[in-house]
Amino acid sequence: MDYLQITGGAKLSGSIKISGAKNSALPIIAATILSDKPVKLTNLPNVVDIRTLLKLLDILGSRVEHKDTVANINNGTMNSTKAVYEIVSQMRASILVLGPLLARFGECEVSLPGGCAIGQRPIDLHLKAMEAMGATIEIKGGYVRAEAPNGLQGAKIVFDKITVGGTENTLMAAALAHGTTTIVNAAKEPEIVQLCEMLADAGVKIDGIGTSEIVVEGTGQKPLTFKDVEIIPDRIEAGTYLCAAAITNSTITLEKVNPAHIEASIDKLEAMGCSFEIEGEKITISGTSRLKPISLVTTEYPGFPTDMQAQFMAVATMAIGESVIEERLFENRFMHVSELNRLGADIWLKGSVAAVKPVAQLYGADVMATDLRASSALVLAGLVAKGVTNVHRIYHLDRGYDNLEGKLSALGAKIKRLSE
């Protein structure tokens, strides 16, 4: 198994290019199921999760050509609607094929994703939405079996809780349903907006894009013809490198970012004393030797993203006062706390709130990655820890960060990938 070895203390400088957003690419790959014609996706990140979902399409009978950042997908040859356990158990986001498979073929079977390190993460809201659109749902043998032999019917879906994946599944299902679907309390993330734009570019009438109420006119099971899609920049990857500059008090430039998507992170880093120059798709951040403590609460977009909580906690360990971080979206997303404390941090947890007390120095140690973003927090801490930090179980990182060690090395970090 691979691990990352980081020797802390190096200043960062220079510029790197941000990759396409994993969390936008995944629903977009799933949405291609709504078409029986070839579709080309560009700016895909080179990460394991993307390869996993493309492999699922391949298992379902699609023709997939994937090289570097480009995939040509033809779902015209799809001959199965069963998303098998072997794939879904590797990646929860595989549940995103539920809506499009059901909408196009009138039936599908998708393995239940189960829990994950950051919490229980149920899919009840996805299933309720499909039922409201006329599907019959049965759970048997670890699989969700969904049927709508005459196609899905447009409906009013009111989400009790804002759900990114649930909104995406419903949008895709609604695109081929008969009649109008209204999604109330929809998620507003940039990834949702890009999915809506992809569907709208294929001729689906959608109102309220980017708002909490989205209205979709379905095509009545007529498959779509998509234009080429260029995946938007990864706002979480960008935010993680901004944190790398902040924790090491460095100046770096990120290219190919959408600054509007990372306002919440920029605001918090400014409050901590970092400064920014923003020009088109470029952001230059300069750190400070006197990082101020922060108070933050994770919420849905445009609020502060839960996917940046762990990285900010790493940065907060270097602030000159006590920071308070509250996690509101996932019940168990503090697995990085004990690992950061192994590096000498002084973090106290009470329920969903963490108090991050200041420490003069972190010290290198062996630490274990527990989930995707927690892993990047450990890498950030390793960049300033005195001595050597080994981050184990980095398969979590490989799921979502495109060439993390290559990009950090290009900025001057002392980091290498080794095998156990």
Match 């420490």 to its residue by tokens: 359
Give the range of 70-78, 123-131, 150-158, 282-290 binding ligand UD1 by CB under 6 A.
Answer: 123-131
123 lines the binding site for ligand UD1 (CB under 6 A): yes
Closest separation between CB of residue 373 and ligand UD1, Å?
8
Please, what is the Cα angle at 331 between 247 and 336, to 5 degrees?
30
Q: What is the Cα–Cα distance from 380 to 12, expressed in whole angstroms?
A: 12
Give the residue with the Cβ less far from ligand UD1, 119 or 293: 119
Q: Is residue 392 packed enough to be buried (19+ CB in 10 Å), middle (13-18) or exposed (0-12)?
A: middle
Q: Of residues 289-328, which lie at the interface with ligand UD1 (CB under 6 A)? A: 306-307
Closest separation between CB of residue 363 and ligand UD1, Å?
30
Omega before 302 within 30 of 0, i.e. cis:
yes
Residue 274 falls in the annotated catalytic set = no
Element (H, E) at 15: strand 15-17
Residue pair 237/226 in contact by the 8 Å Cβ criterion: no
Give the residue with the Cβ less far from ligand UD1, 129 or 365: 129
> Which one of residues 15, 76, 77, 161 is an interface residue with ligand UD1 (CB under 6 A)?
161
Residue pair 98/146 in contact by the 8 Å Cβ criterion: yes
270 lines the binding site for ligand UD1 (CB under 6 A): no
Q: Of residues 329-368, which lie at the interface with ligand UD1 (CB under 6 A)? A: 329-330
Give the range of 37-45, 63-71, 158-166, 362-370 binding ligand UD1 by CB under 6 A.
Answer: 158-166
121 lines the binding site for ligand UD1 (CB under 6 A): yes
> Which one of residues 165, 223, 287, 382 is an interface residue with ligand UD1 (CB under 6 A)?
165
Q: Of residues 89-108, which lie at the interface with ligand UD1 (CB under 6 A)? A: 93
Q: What is the Cα–Cα distance from 99 to 102, expressed in whole angstroms?
A: 5
Q: Which position's Cβ is nearest ligand UD1?
A: 165
Give the residue with the Cβ less far from ligand UD1, 56 or 362: 56
Give the residue with the Cβ less far from ligand UD1, 93 or 252: 93
Closest separation between CB of residue 309 and ligand UD1, Å?
9
Cβ count near 161 (within 10 Å): 11
Closest CA to 109 of 142, 68, 67, 146: 146
146 lines the binding site for ligand UD1 (CB under 6 A): no
- List % helix, strand, coil for the chain (3-state, nearest 5): 35, 30, 35
Residue pair 103/175 in contact by the 8 Å Cβ criterion: yes
Beta strand extents in 148-194 (DSSP E only): 156-158, 180-184
374 lines the binding site for ligand UD1 (CB under 6 A): no
Give the residue with the Cβ less far from ligand UD1, 239 or 364: 239
Q: Of residues 231-250, which lie at the interface with ligand UD1 (CB under 6 A)? A: none
Q: What is the Cα–Cα distance from 110 to 127, expressed in whole angstroms?
A: 11
125 lines the binding site for ligand UD1 (CB under 6 A): yes
Under the rule (CB under 6 A), what is the footprint of ligand UD1? 23, 26, 93, 119, 121-126, 161, 163-166, 306-307, 329-330
Catalytic residues: 116
